[in-house]
């Protein structure tokens, strides 16, 4: 019965187009994002970047640059010569990124606040050698975004997508769903993200956009948390809970967290452990020659 009530609540929110904005969570997480998310998942981001070739003098477009971890790595590959055009929706994340990324007389770097797709639409056709999107294609409309990426890429230009998989952090997601099912009034707007189920799904998005898939792989990372409190701290400080703050009544946020903590404690009591696993995928492609 509780699931039915939650489904009715979700339908009402969908009809009224009440959708949460992840920007609030990313702004809140920006001071600690690198200490939590980048510290654990950053190695996978950089390894994914190795799947595309970035040469000195290239023009690279980065979507959802966050705190600039990949932006720095891109700059290193450009070896002081080239162009980086980066965008992120969170002012807090951009503030951290700007403190890291500096250009030289031959490296042209701009970091802009805004929506990924709108940013892409302003980029000239066939202007980028590489387009990179780390952990964020889920916040847009992937097919539309990839069509714009195709337009912006030069012939033989490359694109890299690294994204969380839909089955990530299930030991946390399922208890949160139970909390909302028990009291649907806690949910005030919907968290709408398009996490893909597999690399094959993203590969099909590429093909529909006219991109040739050059690499696809999947991976998994166990997070360094073993207690309910550590799990809640990680997801809030890493940005993994993006959309949560806007999805619940601010007056009841602590209530939701308390109930989720209790659910996680039951999980630990029954299984003897708490293990959160962040699954992800990497897909790269190229625009065919003209």
Q: What is the pLDDT of residues 228-285, one digit of tens each?
A: 999 999 989 999 888 888 888 889 999 999 999 999 999 898 888 899 999 999 999 9
**Tokens (6 digits) for 35:** 């200490």
Contact between 166 and 93 under an 8 Å Cβ cutoff? The reply is: no
Give how many domains the chain has, as a whole number.
Answer: 1
Here the contacts of 194-198 (C-beta below 8 Å, separation 24 or greater) are: 194/137, 194/138, 194/139, 194/140, 194/141, 194/142, 195/138, 195/163, 195/164, 195/165, 195/166, 195/168, 196/138, 196/142, 196/163, 196/165, 196/166, 196/281, 197/165, 197/166, 197/167, 198/165, 198/281
Give the bridge partners for 286, in sequence order: 158, 212
Question: Domain residues for 62?
Answer: 2-286
Q: What is the pLDDT of residues 137-193, one digit of tens each?
A: 999 899 999 999 999 999 999 999 999 999 999 999 899 888 888 888 888 887 778
CATH number at residue 131: 3.40.50.150
Going by pLDDT thresholds of 50, 70 and 90, the confidence category of residue 83 is very high
Q: What pTM value is reported for the model?
A: 0.92
Q: Answer with the residue of higher pLDDT: 247 or 30.
A: 30
Residue 118: what pLDDT?
Answer: 97
């Amino acid at each position: 019965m509780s699931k039915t009530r939650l489904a009715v609540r979700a339908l009402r929110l969908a009809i009224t187009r009440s959708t949460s904005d992840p920007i609030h969570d990313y702004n809140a997480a920006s001071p600690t994002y690198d200490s939590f998310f980048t510290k654990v998942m950053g190695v996978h981001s950089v390894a994914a970047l190795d799947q595309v070739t970035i040469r000195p003098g290239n023009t690279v477009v980065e979507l959802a640059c966050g705190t600039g971890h990949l932006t720095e790595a891109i700059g290193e590959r450009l070896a002081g010569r080239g162009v980086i055009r980066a965008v992120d929706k969170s002012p807090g994340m951009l503030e951290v990124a700007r403190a890291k990324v500096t250009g030289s007389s031959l490296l042209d770097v701009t970091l802009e606040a805004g929506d990924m797709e709108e940013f892409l639409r302003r980029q000239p056709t066939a202007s980028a050698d590489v387009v990179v999107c780390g952990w964020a294609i889920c916040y847009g409309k992937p097919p539309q975004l990839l069509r714009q990426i195709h337009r912006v890429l030069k012939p033989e230009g490359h694109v890299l997508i690294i994204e969380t998989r839909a089955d990530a952090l299930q030991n946390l997601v399922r208890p949160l769903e139970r909390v909302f099912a028990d009291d649907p009034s806690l949910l005030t707007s919907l968290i709408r993200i398009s996490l893909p189920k597999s690399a094959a799904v993203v590969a099909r998005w590429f093909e529909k956009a006219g991109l040739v898939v050059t690499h696809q792989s999947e991976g998994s990372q166990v997070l360094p948390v073993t207690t309910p409190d550590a799990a809640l701290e990680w997801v809030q400080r890493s940005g993994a809970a993006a959309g949560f703050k806007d999805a619940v009544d601010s007056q009841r946020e602590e209530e939701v967290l308390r109930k989720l903590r209790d659910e996680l404690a039951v999980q630990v009591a029954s299984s003897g452990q708490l293990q959160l696993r962040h699954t992800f995928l990497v897909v790269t492609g190229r625009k065919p020659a003209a």
